[in-house]
Chain A
Amino acid sequence: MTTTDTHLTDEGAQEMTARDVASAAEKLREQGAVLRLSEAEAEAVAAELEAAPEDETMIINMGPQHPSTHGVLRLMLELQGETVLRCKPIIGYLHTGMEWTGEELTYLQGPTNVTRMDYAAPMFNELVFSLCVEQLLEIEAPERATWIRMLMCELNRMASHLLFLATNGMDIGAVSMMLYGWREREEVLRFFQEVTGLRMNHNYIRPGGVAADLPPGWRDGVLRLIELIDPRLDEYDVLMTNQPIWRERLQGVGVIAAEECMALGVTGPILRSTGYAWDLRRDMPYLAYDQVDFDVIVGSFGDCFDRYAIRLNEIRESMRIVRQIVDLMPRGDYRIQDKKVTPPPRERIDESMEALIHHFKLFTEGFKVPEGESYAAVESPRGELGCYIVSDGSANPYRMHIRGPSFVNLQSLPHMMHGGLVADAVAVISSVDPIMGEVDR
């Protein structure tokens, strides 16, 4: 441990160490070797470092306050000139103990906590938490609730990917894209505000259903939104997809192979960019995704451009799903009619003492969940978002763990960056699209 006076941002052994101190395995990992290497390959990778004597390289910090690190991600890069030799992400600057907080909150309060993790895709956090609790309760949300959840999640996926397009554009220098992306995302958030009352951190999807029914006229709102965004996506195509500068900047940058993704547990658009079609919505359907028609978008080169194009086209697929949902939305309850889980309607409280007591008990003590453990997973815009809950039969989870896709996906950074330029590092971070609130939880 170093003295605290001189190193105010020192993270000790978490940092990238000098080469003569680091172990061989560590160095290989920081250089991007994931798969089991043959001896010759391992030597070739190691030789690369030897070719660059340590006094000719330098280790620099990128972040935690760098504007293009999407929050407080800190990267330590060993550079030779402009080439990245080694890379190590250092995280934890946004750690707020949300898993611990989850143990202190009741199941009813839980969504307010988890929704703040991946703040660009809050609906998915609420959804995965609710699905997991419902598995433990052995209840199933009514059909309408399921479809409302799907609607909100797909709109949220659009908002999240629009945010990605915005920040990706900004990182790479297409500053107008930043403005357009935020502008369109705001339109989606405006619809969310109509439905949930909030732009972000909705606490809308709850165990047993959703918090409120869709407002009258929601169909028009959704269709107007889609009509607005659809032509704008074509504008993005003109602005960026076919633009030579944009392609030069992204194509062939940050390449990762499907095998590496599998080994690292990387999911979502990064895995799909390698040409591996894996989408939980299609392959292990939850909600009612088996009843809607959509395509899984895959890339072929696993580079930053593919990841950009996948997200852009996933917005189109989401719109396709949303259009079907607008047509297929069933009537019925928006939350389960189970007195154990659902509070009585507001009107009943005025006329029934039992309803008042019931309401009071539910919101002060919460509802009890049978003992057991369960894991639920959904496809969030960033990959597989999982929730693992252990219940001891009380009203609070005994243990609540969130498997954040960004947390796992960050591990792919050294592999994508190795051998690239430091200027491309920005493009690579951006294409992973990490949300630090979820990484650090």
Chain B
Amino acid sequence: MADETVDAAQPTAEAREPQPEQQFGVPVTRVGGQAVLHVAAADYLDLVRRLYEDGHHMCVDLTAVDYLTYEADRGLPAGVPPERFEVVVGFLSHTSRSRVRVRVQVPESDTTLPSITDTYPGADAMEREVFDMFGITFTGHPDLTRILMPEDWVGNPLRKDYNSGRIPVQFKNPVSVPDAVAGQ
């Protein structure tokens, strides 16, 4: 999907403004000295493999952001359409002592991403956490289950439309909460 948009944007962008800077074949922005790569879900796995080959041997952090109620400028370069979810992955290269951050756009309509646990087994727990908190499914993950919330929890707590505070506390065998409320 990103390929199409980038290709389509190229001729017009050239005419109007300078091309966004590219690195590893994807647009890159720099925020306060930190390199941020922007990629669509379809190109995510390719980029991760390229980063690994480039020496970024450690996946330090993997998290997500729900931009549902975000109104300010998201800092995306031209040609990267904003989506509701963004998975943010931090890579570290020990040899060049540098970090790179990948922001993957994940549309609300299809909240699946390929798992990077094949390349970075350490992303295991972090992908489970994102699955738990945001409901983003990682295909190819060996054991995609909730990790912090109880297994029978309803909803994804860090989503911005999660009705926090108005939901009765969900515990097993709640004595004080009627079945009809607890079971929702």
Contact = CB atoms under 8 A, between A and B. Distances in A.
A265 B122 contact: yes
B120 A373 contact: no
B155 interface: no
A398 B65 contact: yes
A386 to B, nearest CB: 5
B113 interface: no
A372 interface: yes
Nearest to A23: B142
Q: Report whether over half of chain B's contact residues are helix, strand or loop; otherwise say mixed.
A: loop
B172 A384 contact: no
A375 B101 contact: yes
Interface in B140-167: 142-143, 145-152, 157-158, 164
Interface string B71-114: 11101000000000000101000100101010000000000000
B122 A11 contact: no
Contact of A392 (B31, B70, B152, B164): B70
Contacts of B148: 91-92, 95, 440-441
A366 to B, nearest CB: 17
A267 B73 CA distance: 34
Given A95-B148, A398-B65, A401-B63, A388 B88 contact: yes
A29 B121 contact: yes
Report whether over half of chain A's contact residues are helix, strand or loop; otherwise say mixed: mixed
B97 A265 contact: no
B125 interface: yes
B39 to A, nearest CB: 15
Contacts of B72: 371, 392-393
Contacts of B158: 99-100, 399
A371 B151 CA distance: 35
A12 B125 contact: no
A371 B73 contact: yes
B37 to A, nearest CB: 13
Contacts of B122: 263-266, 408, 411
A14 B147 CA distance: 7
Given A4-B173, A5-B173, A388-B88, A265 B147 contact: no
Contacts of A266: 122
Interface string A1-41: 10011001011111000000001011001000011000000
B124 A386 contact: no
B41 interface: no
Contacts of B97: 283-284
Interface in A347-403: 371-375, 377, 384, 386, 388, 390, 392-393, 398-399, 401, 403
A375 B65 contact: no
Contacts of B164: 100
B68 to A, nearest CB: 10
B121 A408 contact: no
Interface stretch (B2-10, B15-23, B52-60): B52-60
A410 interface: yes
B121 A375 contact: no
Interface in A383-441: 384, 386, 388, 390, 392-393, 398-399, 401, 403, 407-408, 410-411, 440-441
Contact of B61 (A371, A403, A440): A403
- A-B pairs with lowest CB-CB distance, top 6: A265-B122, A12-B151, A371-B72, A264-B122, A25-B142, A92-B148
16 contacts: A1-B152, A4-B152, A8-B172, A12-B145, A23-B142, A25-B142, A92-B147, A263-B57, A265-B59, A372-B75, A390-B70, A401-B63, A403-B60, A407-B126, A408-B125, A440-B148
Given A23-B143, A408-B122, A441-B148, 5 more contacts: A29-B124, A373-B36, A377-B60, A384-B60, A403-B61
